[in-house]
Structure 1
Amino acid sequence: MLPTTDQRLAAREPDGKASLAFLQHWEHLLLLHWKVDPQLIQDTLPPGLHVDLAEDSAWLSIVPFVMNWARPRRLPALPLLSHFLELNVRTYVYDDNGVPGVWFYSLDCSSGPAVWIARKFFKLPYFQARMKAAITDDVHYTCRRADRYGGAPYGSYRLSVFRYGGQGQIRIPEPDTLPFFLLERYYFYAWDDGKLRRGQVAHSPYRYQEADVATFDTIPLCLDDLPLPSTPPDAKHYVDKVKVDVYGLQ
């Protein structure tokens, strides 16, 4: 059974099962989403996770953004750790108890220390990348992964390029809509030595716009051995900024 609306809304509130670990600001988020065959996604998931569906489809998303003021609880912002770029590839899932969340296939990051911390303490598939973002009237964002964990140098992967901004009315996702399904995600899952674990983030609901995308790239999907879409994104969202609390793994 898919999660109910009440279960999706309940995920917004911290469940009290883990301690607050990090404070972060996520800024200039582009969220590109494609419909995908559900069985294809289910075949990539670890035991205990199930593909979540909207419009009878699974969904894959590419999400580049700027991370600012990331810091451990009770500590100030730190050089190389607090301001960096990140790009994730994700899908939408729920566990055996119906708790909705996201499953990350990869998270590219421009900060080496942040990559180490995320792999060590959150068991997430972070990768070192060479990344830039020029922010003027729009965002010009580039990413080239350096797979330190597989030995590939920066030059082994093609450059991914995104140019984007927001357009139109600013909205808050309404329950039982596609933006709510794609944006209102407060749990993430990780696979840790044969065990499924879960972390939580807390923030106010996204204030989103439709994204105006001049350039996008699907290379991140290719790097994760996922199918390349033959069509433009089925949904595109832009979020200017949001403050986020990150809790430890359960």
Structure 2
Amino acid sequence: MDPMYQELKEIEHRPYPLQPSPWLMTQVWRDLLFMHYPVSTDIIKSYIPTELELDIFENKAWISMIPLRITNMRARGIPPVPYMNSYLELNVRTYVVYQGIPGIYFFSLDANHPLVVTGARTVTGLPYKHANMSFEKHEETFHYASQRIHTAKKLNVAYQPGHILFEPQEGSIDHWLLERYCMYSFRGGQILRGDIHHDKWKVNRAEAVISTNTLVPFIPGEFIGKPPLLHYSRRRRFFIYPLKEV
């Protein structure tokens, strides 16, 4: 029998109700760095399905890159599978709206576990890619490196969280970027929505030094080495619901 997680009792912060169907998978995300970049709406529109509306904040579109560690992954009703429940991941996403529901759209999801990449790509249609990745911590600094297999797509970043933990306030750019509870995918000519759940974000500001970043072509040049907005989260448990046609 599955345990009743505390996060599933905390739903008042959600912009819309939880799905009535049960969650499909749970994961614990650790040591996340959110690197946020404002980008041209005209450029980014050509990279998302025309059925999705680009979401903007104060007349700006944004993309976010998120290196993280995924641990404690398991399907509902099944204990964690050895060698399959932990891996490194690197997400690149933007912000969209469909039928009035705000969410995220992934440009890519790199992971260092080939079976996870193949399975997730097959089941969800999300653009998972296999990459060689490493994660180390030296004193208070995290070092994260990713090199996508057979391409020049790579990221090398060292980051350090600030000391003050805070809860993003509604109406702020922090809240707009972080408090998203679904992802959209496009497969077979159909928009799919996958709901997610977690408790409300509490994050730190962060500092980062990026020595290499060749993941996407449309980041403004002045921001390649130093994102204008950074967040760090030590830990969040996520619940992932089945993708559904919308």
| TM-score between the two structures when normalised by the length of structure 1 | 0.86
Aligned-partner Cα distance in 2 for 1:65–1:145: 15
Q: Which structure has more strand as a fraction of its residues? A: 2
The reply on whether 1:99 has 2:101 as its aligned counterpart is yes
CA RMSD of aligned residues (A): 1.8
Q: Which runs of 5+ in 1 are unaligned?
A: 1-8, 147-152
Q: Cα distance, 1:36 vs. partner? A: 0.9
Q: Cα distance, 1:157 vs. partner? A: 2.2
Q: Which amino acid aligns with 2:231?
A: H
The reply on whether 1:48 has 2:51 as its aligned counterpart is yes
Aligned-partner Cα distance in 1 for 2:153–2:109: 16
Aligned-partner Cα distance in 1 for 2:46–2:18: 30
Aligned-partner Cα distance in 2 for 1:120–1:86: 17
Q: Of 15, 22, 46, which aligns to 2:19?
A: 15
Structure 1 residues 159 and 21: alpha-carbon distance in aligned structure 2, compared to 1, 3 A threshold: same
Q: Of 68, 71, 76, which aligns to 1:68?
A: 71
Structure 1 residues 158 and 52: alpha-carbon distance in aligned structure 2, compared to 1, 3 A threshold: closer
Match of 1:215 in 2: 210
Residues 42-71 of structure 1 show CA distances to partners (whole Å, capped at 9, x for unaligned) of 222113211111121000111100000111
Q: How does 1:1-250 map to 2 (within 5 A)?
A: 10-11=14-15, 13-16=17-20, 18-95=21-98, 97-136=99-138, 137-146=140-149, 153=150, 156-157=151-152, 159-215=154-210, 217-222=212-217, 226-231=218-223, 232-250=226-244
Query: Identity of paired residues, percent?
Result: 28
Q: How many residues are aligned here?
A: 230
Aligned-partner Cα distance in 2 for 1:49–1:216: 33
Aligned-partner Cα distance in 2 for 1:239–1:213: 14
| TM-score between the two structures when normalised by the length of structure 2 | 0.88
Q: Contact 1:34–1:229 (CA<8 Å) still a contact in 2?
A: no
Q: Which amino acid aligns with 1:203?
A: H
Q: Contact 1:54–1:178 (CA<8 Å) still a contact in 2?
A: yes
Q: Contact 2:36–2:229 (CA<8 Å) still a contact in 1?
A: yes
Q: Cα distance, 1:243 vs. partner? A: 0.6
Aligned-partner Cα distance in 2 for 1:93–1:199: 13
Q: Which amino acid aligns with 2:222?
A: S
Structure 1 residues 115 and 11: alpha-carbon distance in aligned structure 2, compared to 1, 3 A threshold: farther
